[in-house]
Amino acid sequence: MASSSLLVALVVASGCLLAVSGQKFNAIYSFGDSMSDTGNLCVNGPPAGLTLTQPPYGETFFGRATCRCSDGRLVVDFLAEKFGLPLLKPSKQGGADFKKGANMAIIGATTMGSSFFQSLGVGDKIWNNGPLDTQIQWFQNLLPSVCGSSCKTYLSKSLFVLGELGGNDYNAQLFGGYTPEQAAGQSPTIVDAIGAGAEKLIGLGAMYIVIPGVLPVGCFPIYLTLYQTSNAGDYDQYGCLKRFNALSARHNSLLQSKVTSLQGKYPYAKIMYADFYSHVFDMVKSPASYGFSTNLRACCGAGGGKYNYQNGARCGMSGASACGNPSSSLSWDGIHLTEAAYKKIADGWVNGPYCHPAILS
């Protein structure tokens, strides 16, 4: 009898664990930048000249621009759909119900605050005030309406997506004249801040946190255009700029070590490293395997040339248009990816092998 009771208890306990980590999340709460913003930058009216509020942004799924930097849905949208939750509302949307999730991510967001960039002499390259600490404060401001006095219990059954963060921290430096090698010198500080953000969320009750790395930006049309060289040695065999990918790889190596450290410090939480870099780089290396016919050329824009990117002829600007079949392209606007790519990435996080451990493991 004792053995039977123990077996039943184990089965019930296992079922509860699967229900939480498998299909029964209360909500999804997301933090990050333009890779995951679902409208925060546009809630109070988009900034003048913001091209992503113009067609053909959003054409694939929504049929209109939604302030998402893609032709359709993002990774966080596919995660919400996977777990039977509504698409995430931007946290700045007044009067919204955030019990099923909220998105604190905002276009242009950085990990670090403004003083960090001012100390590097690149403060003028940061145009949006939405660093990670601020996003966590936005989240905390929502909690009374979400979970009242029972937040730790509620949040322990929610999925948190902390990033991608870091890309704009490096962009500010690179566009401010720093070399990739110089920017890499700041990687430990940036990664430590991401780790500190994760610990704040754990302190609030988070038990399931996905922490994505940064992307192989040396394969992105914007970088390939702005930093194009005549030296073949600057490129790898796939046509990507090696120094810029080395910067991303440096960040990701440190971030993986940070996640491993957090996993040891908080063994009761499921902290997952999402390998954005490897998945996208695999798409660059073998585009046909993922259903793509183009990998280094932007689908949308009027830039022409090898990469179809120019700052003055970006997607959403007058004269710009999208390719006939965005789902056959990896890059949407030269800076962000297509809905088709984001769907594959979300699948790789949910089921593996590009999330360690996978969300459903």
Q: Give the tokens for residue 227.
A: 């930093």
Q: Measuring CA to CA, which residue among 103, 105, 207 is closest to residue 154?
A: 207
Amino acid at 126: I
The strand order across the sheet containing 208-212 reads: 101-103, 28-31, 159-162, 208-212, 270-274, 355-356
Q: In Å, what is the CA distance from 357 to each residue of 78, 227, 235, 272, 350?
A: 18, 35, 32, 6, 9
Q: Provide the b/e sequence for 198-209 (b: ≥16 CB within 10 Å).
A: bebbbebbbbbb
Active site residue ranges: 34, 333, 336
Q: What is the phi/psi pair of residue 311, to 5°?
A: -60, -35
Q: Are 12 and 72 in contact (CB under 8 A)?
A: no
CA atoms within 13 A on the CB side of 358: 14
Distance CA 298, CA 51 (A): 15
Q: Is the dihedral of CA 110, 112, 114, 118 positive or negative?
A: negative
Q: Measuring CA to CA, which residue among 127, 325, 330 is closest to residue 221?
A: 330
DSSP string, 20-62: IIII--S-EEEE-STTT-SSGGGTT-PPTT-GGGSTTTTTTTT
Q: What is the phi/psi pair of residue 163, to 5°?
A: 125, 180
For Cα atoms 231, 232, 235, give the angle at the middle one, nearest 5 degrees: 110
Which runs of consecutive H residues, i.e. helices, occur in 150-186?
151-155, 167-175, 180-184
